Amino acid sequence: MGTKPENRKVGIIGAEGRMGRAATHALLEADGLEVVALFDVNSGEKPTGKVPSVNSLSGLIEASPEVVVDFTVAEASLSNLPQIAEAGIHAVVGTSGFTEENHEFLDGVFQKSSCLIVPNFAIGAVLMMRFAELASPWFQTGEIIEFHHNEKVDAPSGTAIATAERMLEASTEWMADPTSKETLSGTRGGDAGSNIKIHSVRMEGMVAHQEVILGTTGQSLLIRHDTTDRSAFMPGVVLAVQRIQGTGLTVGLESLLGV
């Protein structure tokens, strides 16, 4: 009989946030994974249920996780990730707000392990982005409206930016915005490049939602995804932690889903 493989050890940064708490629960329940340490700047060093909390990033690294899951903010991630990379630990990052320069920096830093930045862990949202990419060559105008809870500090969302990037890669034939005058500044949204506009809504009662609207002569196409509960993100979180490997930076779950 073969030897049963050891569980993959996992550490979580931002463990006291909404996503951090949900991810902790999901990863504790997942097969083949063992959560060995939790770190959050708002908590001290104490046991949290089945898992000890640590009071520093170095304490998390000392717990010897193979993968660290990061649910903080971009500024904190950019401070933490080089230390994680130096330790040869894989990083699954659910933080948004990274720039292209940040991506290039992280790709260079992760020489001994891999960094997977995921704009959206919901499988349906990944498919929404893929559908928008497939449809883009057949339409001449496109806009994105993203809706999030009122505690989200950055705008637009990482999902909206990633969607726009895929649409721009799929087609360069986007019609110019005909608007010559904005009576209220910003009404037409932010320009994602080549005339694709992004509009951000922050509102109590929402979790995460996005619409991609595509139009051409005589027709329009609406692609929408709604996340009504954070449990929708957890299968993607577990999948990312189970499958992350290699070195360098990857953005998005697509490579793990085969889409």
Q: Catalytic residue at 4?
A: no
Cα–Cα distance measured from residue 206 to residue 209, given in angstroms and rounded to the nearest whole number? 8
| Helices vs. strands in the chain: H and E counts, helices first | 8, 13
What is the four-CA torsion angle of 18, 22, 27, 28, rounded to 10 degrees?
Answer: 110
Q: Active site includes 152? A: yes
From the list 148, 197, 199, 225, the catalytic residue is 148
- Alpha-carbon gap, residue 13 to 80, rounded angstroms: 9
Q: Of 9, 25, 103, 152, which one is the catalytic site residue?
A: 152
Distances (CA, A) of 161 to 16, 121, 128: 26, 15, 13
Cα gap 7→185, rounded to integer Å: 54
Which residues are marked as active site?
A: 148, 152
